[in-house]
Amino acid sequence: MVENLVIVESPAKAKTIEKFLGKDFLVKSSFGHIRDLEKKDFGIDIKNNFTPKYIVSTDKKKVVTELKKLAKEAKTVWIASDEDREGEAIAWHLFEVLKLKKENTKRIVFHEITKPAILKAIENPRDIDDNLVNAQQARRILDRLVGFEISPVLWKKVKPQLSAGRVQSVAVRLLVERERDIIAFTPEAYYKVVANFFITEENGTQKTLKAEYPKRFATKEEVLRFLESCKNAEYKVSDIEKKPSTRKPAAPFTTSTLQQEASRKLGFSVAQTMAVAQRLYEAGNITYMRTDSVNLADTALAAAKEEITKRHGEEYVKIRKYQTKNKGAQEAHEAIRPTYLNKEVISGESNEIRLYNLIWKRTIASQMSDAKLEKTNIKIAASTNGEEFIATGEMIKFDGFLKVYMESTDDENGKQEETLLPTVKVNDPVTEDFLNATQNFTYRPPRFTEASLVKKLEELGIGRPSTYAPTITTVQNRGYVVKESRDGVERKYEVINLKENNISEEVKTQITGAEKRKLFPTDIGMVVTDFLNEHFPNVMNYNFTADVEKEFDDIALGKLIWHEMIGKFYNPFHENVEKTLEHSERSTGERILGEDPKTGKVILVRIGRYGPMAQLGETPEDKEAEAPKFASLRPGQHLETITLEEAIDLFKLPRDLGLYEDKKVVVAIGRFGPYVRHDGKFASLKKDIDDPMEIDLPRAIELIEEKRKKDREKFIKAFDEDPDLQILNGRWGPYISYKKENFRLAKDIEDPKVLSFEDCMKIIKEGPKKKTTKKAASKKTTAKKTVTKKKTTTTKKKTTTAQKAKK
């Protein structure tokens, strides 16, 4: 018989906790949620106060059976899932499904996996918090209703297999609005004048002093007039201004600030940060990683003081108690910090070590002294016009927290680097080296990174710590957003110089607009956003989404009844869904570009079955009439920015390149990108190398031969006894292919060529199947079954993601 059964969400957490508890405790994992809403009828009894209909997940039935058996034998069952709403819901589901009894079931929570925290939790058990469960349940039900009701509208009115989400669709709206700001932005030119001076210090050393003219010039004519006025000028130091200043450390990490800083400093995606943080938490290295709080426990403050004193001295210590500014902070956690502050380095994977080091430095720095700085402005006046140039520098008088850590920013426009200035006095003469007027251009609004999007969502009160990562991952998986880097474009700019009283001009080039790991809305994301904005303005309203989060908080505090909150939203929402289905027009983002000069037919762009495309000619009502021509948009082309000329070029494809082996070679663009077709076979063009509009016959032949070589290497052996039987070479090694099914070969088969027909048939009969690709699976099912299977697969993937997030 089991004396004590402890149930946690993940095996890693179970393994860590087992080390702290004695032999009387058995620790088991539920592997995340054990049940979810069923698919039929939304899994919600709408007429009965939105009562949820839960079912045990298929992949959890074995786990549930084992836990039921152990729970029945145990004297006491301890449910130790995380202390947030999601964790509380897991605890409640376990209690319900395992049919636990209140008298021998105890709920324990802790925000760090250390022996003292675990033992303290055992000594202070509590009941399952129904309010927290209801808050999680309300979020799950509301999101299910929004997604399941709006998605079919999108299928009918925009494009099949689309979906919507309460938080995700609003996040996409942010990206779409920013993208349109960028499209509409027109850069304005201006000139900035910088002077280079020589200064001779008292010891005779000559140093360079760079100073900037504080005003900006709008035109070249103004610049030339100014430079003319500076000819024959003598310069001297007219004023020196020194200002002491201090710089304070950033607060300890919350979930969102950790996601932002890990993106800036380590290049992590939001989902990657949470996955690595989850492992650090489960290994007992950091405190709970889903939190809005910046507070540190008194024990942590004492440990920080001791560590800073030991490493840097008492003058570097300044204990601070930070206050959470976010009114929607939902959990009474600590900030994210190392469980043991005297442990600067941990063992583990590279990313775990890097993220832990970031958390350790941020935590320690938050309790260190302010940095003391001195900012100096040196003004240099010209004798001919009285205008002044300003040189700015900054000196660190006391480094304080900067000795350990400095927070990064999302500022893309760049700031002038502060430099160490030479020693000068008022009225000291300075010698002009040159004056340089450089043409600059105003910056367009920056595109969002994952980090800056998280920051914006938090500012607007949209979502909570546990939702940022899945939200950003979901919008990318749905094809509404892509994260990628893009090359900039070449731009010319003017430079006007004044040196030795001579004015010279030159034109230079620069690369502008380059993007690194930014979020771009796709055409389908923009069309869907427009449709939802028009027909579901309430759901897409930033304030509505933030207000819903506040209502979830009120439910968690017991101030609001969850099904009343859902009912208040649902009834008008459902009416709007019905109205939109019946009365709204189909939306494809159609945009007429003009007429084709050769045929006089209209050219337009829109969303088609396989994505954004151009159309030559209108769709005729008469079936006998000539059908329009279609062409897919190329990478980098978009419905809102493509020009008529660019669209006309698309219809130059397919291009006939000539003959190879007496057969035509054709280049075209298909559903999966540009390709070369020859003798009924296809070879893809290389991304970023081959342009379908420019590729010639010799290059096409190279691609054809590369494809042939790859196909030859894939084939190992065929059999006369049955042409459907082949031995092929795949990504993971040799395998048997038979009647559209694949079968793994044992690792001890060194040479697959020696296998006979009988050997292969035996493997097929007895051996395990190789995983079938999605492409192969789709060929074996009807269209209806394929859709069902894809939906099921998506659900499983989402479940898996949720499980990983809760581990």
The distance in angstroms from the start CA to the end CA of the chain is 28
Radius of gyration (C-alpha) of the chain in whole angstroms = 33
| Rounded Cα gap, residues 263 and 269, in angstroms | 6
Strand duo 25-29 + 4-8: pairing? parallel
Helix (H, G, I), strand (E, B) or coil at 719: coil
Select from 691, 653, 685, 655 the least CA-distant residue to 672: 685
Select from 168, 123, 85, 236 the least CA-distant residue to 556: 85
Cα-based distances in Å from 74 to 66, 95, 128? 12, 14, 19
* 41 contact partners, CB below 8 Å, separation of at least 6: 53
Select from 107, 120, 114, 112 the least CA-distant residue to 20: 114
Q: Which helix (H) or strand (E) holds 655?
A: strand 655-660
* Structure letter (DSSP) for residue 728: E
Strand duo 189-200 + 371-382: pairing? unpaired
Please list the residues that pair with 482 across neighbouring strands.
520
Residue appearing with tokens 């808050």: 135
CB 474 within 8 A of CB 466: no
720: number of Cβ within 10 Å: 7
| Rounded Cα gap, residues 504 and 497, in angstroms | 5
Backbone φ, ψ for residue 262 (5° rounding): -65, -30
Please calculate the CA angle 707-713-719 and round it to the nearest 5 degrees. Answer: 115
Q: Please name the amino acid found at residue 514.
A: A
* Helix ranges restricted to H, 296-349: 298-312
CB 647 within 8 A of CB 612: no
Residue appearing with tokens 């997030």: 805
Residue 286, Cβ density class (10 Å: 0-12 exposed, 13-18 middle, ≥19 buried): buried
801: number of Cβ within 10 Å: 18
Helix orientation angle between 542-556 and 562-583, rounded to the nearest 10 degrees: 150
CB 549 within 8 A of CB 328: yes
- Does 288 participate in catalysis according to the annotation? yes
Q: Is the dihedral of CA 527, 531, 536, 542 positive or negative?
A: positive
CB 412 within 8 A of CB 447: no
| Rounded Cα gap, residues 292 and 256, in angstroms | 8
Q: Among 213, 235, 281, 288, which one carries the catalytic annotation?
A: 288
* Catalytic residue annotation: 288
